Amino acid sequence: MEIYKGTATFAGIAIGKILFYHKNEYQIRQYLVSDIKNELNVFNSARIQVIRQLRELYEKNCTGSPAEAETFQKQARLLEADSFRRAIESVITSQKVNAAYAVTINRDELSSTFRNLEDPFIQERITHIQEISNRLIAVLGGISPKIDLGDQPVILAAENLSPTEIMEMEKEKILGVVTHLGSAVSHTSILAKSMAIPCLVGIQAREEWDGKDVIVDGYTGSLYLDPDREILMEYEMRRQADLKEREELLQLKEVEDITRDGKKIGLYANISNLDDLNSVLYYGAAGIGLFRSEFQYLGRENYPRENELFCAYKKVAETMENRLVVIRTVDLGADKQAEYLDIPDEVNPIMGNRGIRLCLDRKRMFKAQIRAIYRASAYGNLAMMYPMITSEEELDEIEKIIREIKAGLLEKEIPFKEIPVGIMVETPAAVMISRELARRVDFLSMGTNDLTQYTLAMDRQNPLLRGKYNDHHPAIIRMIQMVIASAHQENCRVCICGELAADTRLTEKFLRMGVDDLSVVPVCILPVRKAIREVDLGSL
């Protein structure tokens, strides 16, 4: 037996076999084809589809960012060129392989042949070839859309997992997750937590662990590889006890979120997609305090259209009936990327063009979302909030867009409601001007994950800072206190929706500071409810 120590991101115990996820293994499948003519046709229709995609991207971006748009033009021309087409057709014909595999071979050969040439023209061309090849492979279906987890539930081990990858997995088949990179507040860990999956970060799993038995202890952050029989028995008992404790907590599903001395607190749920709705209702949350809407933009080929967003928001609004649902407008960028977004590389993406900045840069995308939210508002109790706000000027710009959208809806007689709007306070700038911001909106919601990283100047995902990243830092606690006080002076409600809201060691402190609402992943609703009900604000 070997024991490894990492950081736990969700308290729970998992026992099972490791599946080592090796990204490349899952990417391109190679197979022999008998009907070469048909495969050539398959390739050429994919090529035409990608050319069309690129032309659309060019049209969409040519006014906002002409330099980037030009890239799409160049790539479309390259795809039309005979030389590129013939190179791939020749691999298909000579090796009798599927088109996706032929595109991969061509891409990899060119990249390695020209890797050491410094001529910027050649380097640019290689980048274009890589990008168009990836687009082709995606269209050809060479990339397995889902990671094949096999028949039996497993403990998934990987160097790193992106939020998109974990989102695409069948959660019933994952008992636990172990990664080397990431942190307790990285979006991948938050997603695993919202699926109630014990997850450890900071453990470098090796390929030869594949298929071995392990225990994941999400309380201590320990991983037991090839556990001894006694340890296995002990953990099996602990796992049962854990399940029993969770079952006991279920008695709190329908009770009020109220302190002993009678103060009511709004206890809401954080969700990332529509699949989470069942657990929000199951655990009896007051509503949804944070709908991370950007996850609808990930793991796909193109922007979701307004109507698709509208249908999703309508479904959430209707499912939650009259309970409040706070939709956070998309917080894309940084660790939340999709190829079609084509966000240019940034030296410092965490400090880069993300959140509201990206939305205000890509107004077409932003307007589609806001219109969808307003249209869906007619079907339930929606509210909307904006991520990464740092100034009142951003609010000016947003308000202008909202006025325009409402006027458009009125003109077309599309029903909508006036909905509460709020701001995520997750930058030190927003903390410092929280009183001014509170004057302009209905509620503030504290995003303590980002607030901690920006206040301590520590990347929340950096594994090297894991021991130093301290979200209980007095600076963070004082900032929370400050925001609550400023907001209350302006009669504005304050919620905490970062991971700290689920930290029951701080529940009493937050309540004493006067926080109005807490929003946590569904599986943490009951432990936080229990903590709220144990607080007596009347006692010293």
Active site residues: 187, 497
Q: What would the two tokens of residue 44 be?
A: 């050429």
Considering the rule CB under 6 A, would residue 471 count as an interface residue with ligand PEP? no
C-beta of 290 vs 402, nearer to ligand PEP: 290
Q: Which residues are annotated as a binding site?
A: 292, 328, 426, 449-450, 460
C-beta of 153 vs 522, nearer to ligand PEP: 522
C-alpha radius of gyration, the chain, whole number: 25
Distances (CA, A) of 304 to 300, 308, 309, 372: 9, 6, 7, 11
The answer to whether the CB of 288 falls within 8 A of the CB of 156 is no
Considering the rule CB under 5 A, would residue 276 count as an interface residue with Mg ion? no
C-beta of 13 vs 525, nearer to ligand PEP: 525
CB atoms within 10 A of CB 257: 21
- The single-letter DSSP state of residue 345 is P
Instruction: Identify the residue whose tokens are 């748009």.
Output: 69
| Contacting range for ligand PEP; rule: CB under 6 A; set: 65-73, 132-140, 275-283, 446-454 | 446-454
Considering the rule CB under 5 A, would residue 459 count as an interface residue with Mg ion? no
Position among 176, 218, 227, 447 found at the interface with Mg ion (CB under 5 A): 447
C-beta of 153 vs 387, nearer to ligand PEP: 387
Shortest distance (Å) from residue 476 CB to Mg ion: 14
C-beta of 40 vs 330, nearer to ligand PEP: 330
Site for ligand PEP in 302-361 (CB under 6 A): 331
C-beta of 284 vs 387, nearer to Mg ion: 387
Give the integer Cα–Cα distance in Å for 331 and 334: 9
Q: Which residues are annotated as a binding site for phosphoenolpyruvate?
A: 292, 328, 449-450, 460
In 3-state terms, what secondary structure has residue 378?
Answer: coil
| Contacting range for ligand PEP; rule: CB under 6 A; set: 29-37, 228-236, 430-438, 441-449 | 441-449
Q: What would the two tokens of residue 230 be?
A: 């006694």
Considering the rule CB under 6 A, would residue 503 count as an interface residue with ligand PEP? no
| Contacting range for ligand PEP; rule: CB under 6 A; set: 95-103, 307-315, 369-377, 444-452 | 444-452
> Which of Mg ion, ligand PEP, none does 292 bind, CB closer than 5 to 8 A by kind?
ligand PEP
Considering the rule CB under 6 A, would residue 276 count as an interface residue with ligand PEP? no
Considering the rule CB under 6 A, would residue 455 count as an interface residue with ligand PEP? no
Dihedral sign from CA coordinates of 342, 348, 350, 351: negative
Give the integer Cα–Cα distance in Å for 308 and 519: 26
Considering the rule CB under 6 A, would residue 163 count as an interface residue with ligand PEP? no
C-beta of 215 vs 290, nearer to Mg ion: 290
Pattern of binders to Mg ion over 225-264, x per CB under 5 A? ----------------------------------------
Give the integer Cα–Cα distance in Å for 229 and 216: 15
**510 backbone dihedrals φ, ψ, rounded to 5°:** -60, -40
Q: DSSP string spanning 392-456?
A: HHHHHHHHHHHHHHHHHHHHTT-------EEEEE-SHHHHHTHHHHHHHSSEEEE-HHHHHHHHH
> Which of ligand PEP, Mg ion, none does 498 bind, CB closer than 5 to 8 A by kind?
ligand PEP
Position among 450, 471, 516, 517 found at the interface with Mg ion (CB under 5 A): 450
CB atoms within 10 A of CB 378: 14
Closest CA to 198 of 17, 9, 45: 9
Closest CA to 297 of 177, 195, 167: 167
Shortest distance (Å) from residue 442 CB to ligand PEP: 18
Position among 14, 105, 497, 520 found at the interface with ligand PEP (CB under 6 A): 497
Q: Which residues are annotated as a binding site for Mg(2+)?
A: 426, 450
Give the integer Cα–Cα distance in Å for 194 and 289: 14
The torsion of the CA quartet 40, 45, 50, 56, rounded to 10 degrees, works out to 160
Considering the rule CB under 6 A, would residue 448 count as an interface residue with ligand PEP? yes
| Contacting range for ligand PEP; rule: CB under 6 A; set: 22-30, 151-159, 445-453, 507-515 | 445-453
Give the integer Cα–Cα distance in Å for 455 and 475: 8
Shortest distance (Å) from residue 501 CB to ligand PEP: 9
Q: What would the two tokens of residue 498 be?
A: 């970062």
Q: What would the two tokens of residue 180 be?
A: 């080397």
Give the integer Cα–Cα distance in Å for 70 and 273: 34
Shortest distance (Å) from residue 355 CB to ligand PEP: 8
Position among 131, 257, 394, 426 found at the interface with Mg ion (CB under 5 A): 426
Position among 39, 276, 394, 450 found at the interface with ligand PEP (CB under 6 A): 450
Shortest distance (Å) from residue 167 CB to ligand PEP: 13
In sequence order, what E strands does 339-380 have? none
Give the integer Cα–Cα distance in Å for 238 and 236: 5
Shortest distance (Å) from residue 195 CB to ligand PEP: 16
Q: Which residues bind ligand PEP (CB under 6 A)?
A: 290, 292, 331, 426, 447-450, 497-498
Residues of this chain that bind Mg ion (CB under 5 A): 426, 447, 450
